[in-house]
Structure 1
Amino acid sequence: MSSKNLQLCRFCQKHVKLAYYCEECGTSCCSDCLHDERVDYFICQECNSKNIEFLDLNGKKLCKDCSSENINKVSQHLKSCPKCHSHKILNIYEKKEELEQKFLELIKETRSFIHPLRDAINELYILRHNISVARSPPIKCYHYPKMESELLVLFKQIIHIKDTLLEKINTHFRHLALNKEFFFDIYNQPNSNIRIIENILENVFRSHESIKKFIEENNQEIYEKFDGFQKNLKFIEKIKKLFLPYKRFLNLAENEKPIYAVNTILINGMDSQNKFIKKNKGILFITNYDLSFVHEYGVIKRKQELIFKAPINDLINITDKGKLFKKLFIQFDYGKYEFSLSSNLISKVIDYILLARSFQEKDLYDNEIAKNLQEIEIDLSDLLKYIEEGINSFFSLKIIYNKRINKKQKKELEITDQNQLNSPYCNSMQNQNQSPFYQNQNPSLLQPHKSPFSSTPYRNIEPYPYQPIGSTVSPSFDRDIFYPQNNFNGQRYQ
């Protein structure tokens, strides 16, 4: 093991590999210094919950989750910190890997900043389209003429949010770049830096959360204004649906603008020919030019009939009559009419009729602002490109760090192997290979065995001469050939 990987364990005072880390106090220690403690706890046999309540001093226990009294005591041996005795013990390399992955995830999470902004912009485009439809023929409704200018303000607000977000992301990337060394080379960081690295990660995470909060608060403000637009457009849609089926009776002029329409009953009336009209169901239409009433009748096949259409400026009197059951009374020089409506609708219809008489003077619709609203666009491609380039640059750096670390580890391994080759044991083996014993070996003994079937003729080895039993003559042979080691040690015989 390389000496660079060894550190001083504060508990056993040995230079060893510190492999464990306590999340509670931040202490690192070796495997020999970890404490093995027995922990007793109670567990519910019904739901395996550890949420146990002690009811009395007699030891009666109850599970808070399922109210069962079937509780057993369980013992378990857990590793604990030698300093604070906490059981939150992690492998130091797993802890470093966790910190590294969290840092990389924070970098990738920068993409998430773009999604809420994109959703808000899509809602703006939908609102712009719906407002354009509301102002389009055949029924052009110009209620709430300030909607275009208010929506244009929201578009500009989104553009400002986008520019501010770009600055905040730039600052966030700089913050990440300043601390990249701690995470990209985290396995070479001393264990004592783990707490520091955790604090750095918390600061980077707070930076990420501050940007997320900025987007959420601004989006919430914009979406609250969306509710007002939706309410106005819903009212306009209702008016268009009432006017559209009867446009052939109303015959709206080019600049005639629908104001309001309501289902009602014409109780009685008198036209210019002194003809009485009673009990006619239909719809009362109000525009900036006319008041019209279309009678609708028929059960199987519905039919319509225009009862009257009178200029709004010819109106002489408009009021409500009656104490218990109020009626709407409308009078012209050439006719008068009474309509049955609920009390709250009578006051509303009167307000709309009075508004219609002054609609031209109070018309605040601005065609120039409407044109600007249709032309404005918000492009997020530059912001998205900046985020992707930043993320790619960080991961490219990570690859460079990984290659550098691998190259360094490979070099250390080669040095370690070379040191082992230069060790005294390896040197003695090398000297032994160079000794006369190996150098002066009989070549015939060192030659590999040759098959009798090979093309090269093999050498016949003559056996030792046969010596009859009882013979006193010893067989003769050369000691130096049979025992080669005697060549360099003449005093040694086998």
Structure 2
Amino acid sequence: MGYDSNKKCLKCYQYNDYLYYCEDCGGTFCTGCIVSEKTDCTYCNECAHISIGNKCEICGKINHLTAEKTLKRCPMCSSIKIKDSKRKIDGLTEEFSSNVNLLSSGLDTIKAFASKYSEIVTQAKHMRRERFGLYPNIEGNLLRIQDLFYEIIQRASEILDKVSQHIYQDARTLIFNQNISVSKLRGIDKTLKIIKTHALSYSNILTDYLSDPLNELEDIEVKVKELKLYSELFDNVIEKFEPEIYELKIAAFPNIKMAFPSDNRKKVGTLFITNKKIYFLLKSKLISKKVKSVPISMIKDVETKSNIFTGNQLFINMSEKNLIKIKCPDDIITKLKFIFGILFNENENYIITDPYMMENYRAGLNFSHLKDKLDKRIKDLKEIPFSPSTQQLRERPIEPRRQVESEEVMNLKIELKAAKDTLRELIKAFNDRSITPEVYFSRREKTTQKIYMIEQQLKEAQYTSLDFGFTDLLRYYSDKHPDRHPTR
């Protein structure tokens, strides 16, 4: 009786019943050939896990407690993904389920996006209730992001069908039992990695789809936070003054040096701007004067001047001699010029006309249909009946994926075959001298062009078809659940 070739160490070429399996290179090695080395690691207080580096591999938190761990490395590729071959075989079913569960990681991205959207809509509604009129494009952008989100959900549902097809085709070739040899283990491990790649690709696709809407949502979030900062400044002085009910709040800037025509020097305070007036509240508590205000209608223009001693200043011109001087950082000067330019022109593109319009906006995004469909796909894929065959995986014939052709593809193939037959008969007739050269070349040119056009249409129809390899999956669903119809 000879040795089992599957129990051979690829390093020392000795036969051994106790082998380690490398998940990266697929090699099997005995205990004596496995490289063991001590490595500096860190210990996580949260999940009690020892990780390489200062970041926990499970929870992602930064660790500060140092530790030492003995790691096993592959003698061929230096990988640390070394496992006991028997434990690897025993955990194949669990590994398959874990890889299929990765499909749900795409749903986590959608949940995070929907949660962020809901939070921003709620904050924006609060700002509009406070009668802030700046950034009216917030409403339109949120509505557009909502429409784009539902388009992405529909596309994600279609892609889920195609990814499920590929996972099903790969999973139906797996063999899970206790008599798996190392040669079978290599093939199964490769298939499991392919399934994992399919599942992660689905999550990455959803992340890419949501990247642009997420960037737009973050821009809106910055604007809402800016309005929230202005709102806090207004709320802090509500006992000293409050804009009239017909005024819309625009902005507020603290620590502004400002001088009115009657002032001898600039004084520090907070500048409040509405769509009708500007207000200036002194910061000093010793001065008991009321807040100063100037109607926007009295302002003619705003200009910036600078000199070596005072730097940049903003001048608000009400007449030739009536000037309001403002000294503040350059970024605030730029912001003030922008705001005053809007107020002078009464530009409705930048000032909202109905602050309560956003009350009708829904804060929640509904993706329950995709969630239910994803849960069903994961559940059905986990229930695939694996073959108990004891044949070698490489000896088991793998059925090629069959393409389920739509009616359009079938008709185009029939037309293409007929056109090629016509061209073949035309060449035969010319060789038999049954037709003249003029007729032959004319008909050949037309037939060749027709063949080319049909081939292009066929390629496009095959590319856009969503029915690739889905028949087997539908048949499995029908056999597994005969009392209900599978849905895509």
Q: Shorter-chain-normalised TM-score: which range? A: 0.5 to 0.7
Superposed displacement of residue 343, structure 1: 6.0
Match of 1:269, SS?
Answer: coil
| Aligned with residue 142 of structure 2, among 133, 142, 151 | 151
Note the 1:1-400 alignment, pairs <5 A: 12=2, 18=4, 20-21=6-7, 94-137=87-130, 140-183=131-174, 185-187=176-178, 193-247=184-238, 249-267=241-259, 269-270=261-262, 280-298=267-285, 303=288, 305-307=290-292, 309-316=293-300, 318-320=302-304, 323=307, 324-325=309-310, 327-332=313-318, 336-342=322-328, 344=330, 345-363=332-350, 365=352, 371=358, 374-375=361-362, 377-397=364-384
Q: Which has the higher contact order (CA 8 A, sep 6+)?
A: 2
Label 1:105 to 1:29 Cα distance change in 2 as closer, same or farther (>3 A).
Answer: farther
Cα contact 1:182–1:189 (8 A) shared by 2 = no
* CA drift at 1:255: 4.5
Alpha carbons 2:163, 2:198 under 8 Å: kept: yes
Q: CA deviation at 1:103?
A: 1.7
Alpha-carbon distance in 1 for matches of 2:270, 2:29 = 87
Whether contact under 8 Å (2:129, 2:356) holds in the other structure is: no
Go from structure 1 to structure 2 and tell me whether the alpha carbon gap of 1:257 and 1:238 turns closer, same or farther (over 3 Å shift): same
Say which is worse superposed, 120-129 or 210-219, in terms of deviation.
210-219
> In 1, distance between residues paired with 2:261 and 2:290?
15
Deviation of 1:186 (Å): 4.5
User: How many correspondences in the alignment?
Assistant: 340
Aligned counterparts of 1:100 and 1:179: Cα–Cα separation in 2: 14
* Contact 2:257–2:327, Cα closer than 8 Å, also in 1: yes
Instruction: Report the 3-state secondary structure (helix = DSSP H, G, I; strand = E; otherwise coil) of the residue aligned with 1:251.
Output: coil
Q: What is the alpha-carbon distance in structure 2 between the residues aligned to residue 266 and residue 319 of structure 1?
A: 15
Do the aligned residues in 1 keep the contact of 2:134 with 2:350 (CA within 8 Å)?
A: no
Instruction: Say whether the 8 Å CA contact 1:106–1:205 is kept in structure 2.
Output: yes
SS of 1:282's equivalent in the other structure is strand
Structure 2 residue ranges without an equivalent (≥5): 19-27, 41-74, 391-488
Contact 2:132/2:250 (8 A) holds in 1: yes
Cα deviation digits, residues 250-292 of structure 1 (max 9, x gap): 432325342444533444523xxxxx66564433332221233
Aligned AA (2:227)? I
Q: C-alpha separation between the residues in 1 aligned to 2:34 and 2:104?
A: 45
Larger radius of gyration between Structure 1 and Structure 2:
1
2:208 alignment partner, SS class: helix
Structure 1: gaps of 5 or more residues: 1-8, 50-79, 82-87, 271-275, 406-494
* Corresponding residue for residue 65 of structure 2: none
Q: CA RMSD in A?
A: 4.7
Question: 1:449-479: CA deviations, max 9, x gaps?
Answer: xxxxxxxxxxxxxxxxxxxxxxxxxxxxxxx
Q: TM-score, normalised by structure 2?
A: 0.56
Q: TM-score, normalised by structure 1?
A: 0.55
How far off is 1:374 after superposition? 1.0
